Structure 1
Amino acid sequence: MAESQSGGAKRHPRPLSPHLQVYKPQLTSITSILHRISGIVLSIGLLYLVCWLAAAAQGMAAFDTLQSFNGSILGRLMLFGWSIAFFYHLLNGIRHLAWDAGFGFELPAAYRSGYAVLIGTALLTIAAWVIAYFQMGAL
Structure 2
Amino acid sequence: MHKNRPKNLDLATVKFPITATASILHRVSGIIVFISLAIFMFLLNLSLSSALGFHQVLGYFDNLFIEFIMWGALTGLAYHMVFGVRHMIQDLGFWEEMESASTSARYGFVLTFILSVLAGVLVW
Segments of 4+ moved more than 6 angstroms: none
Alignment of 1:108-127 (within 5 A): 108-127=99-118
The size of the alignment, in residue pairs, is 121
| Aligned-partner residue type, residue 60 of structure 1 | A
Structure 1 unaligned regions, length at least 5: 1-10, 134-138
Shift of 1:44: 1.3
Q: 1:40 aligns with which of 31, 39, 42?
A: 31
TM-fit CA distance, 1:18:
5.5
Match of 1:77 in 2: 68
Deviation string, structure 1 residues 79-135 (Cα, Å, up to 9, x no partner) = 1111111111111011101110000011110110001110000112223443x37xx
CA RMSD of aligned residues (A): 2.5
Higher relative contact order (CA 8 A, sep 6+): 2
The CA deviation at 1:16 is: 9.5
> Percent identity at matched positions?
26
Structure whose CA Rg is larger: 1
Determine the structure 1 residue equivalent to 2:43.
Answer: 52
The CA deviation string for residues 45-102 of structure 1, in whole angstroms up to 9 with x for no partner, is 1101111122124323333333222231111111111111111111101110111000
Cα distance in structure 2, aligned partners of 1:116 and 1:92: 10
Aligned residue identity for 1:108: E
- Determine the C-alpha separation between the residues in 1 that align with 2:6 and 2:44: 49
Q: Structure 2: where are the runs of 5+ without partners?
A: none
User: Could you tell me how far 1:34 is from its partner in structure 2?
Assistant: 0.7
| 2: CA distance, partners of 1:21 / 1:122 | 24
So what's the TM-score if we normalise by structure 1?
0.74
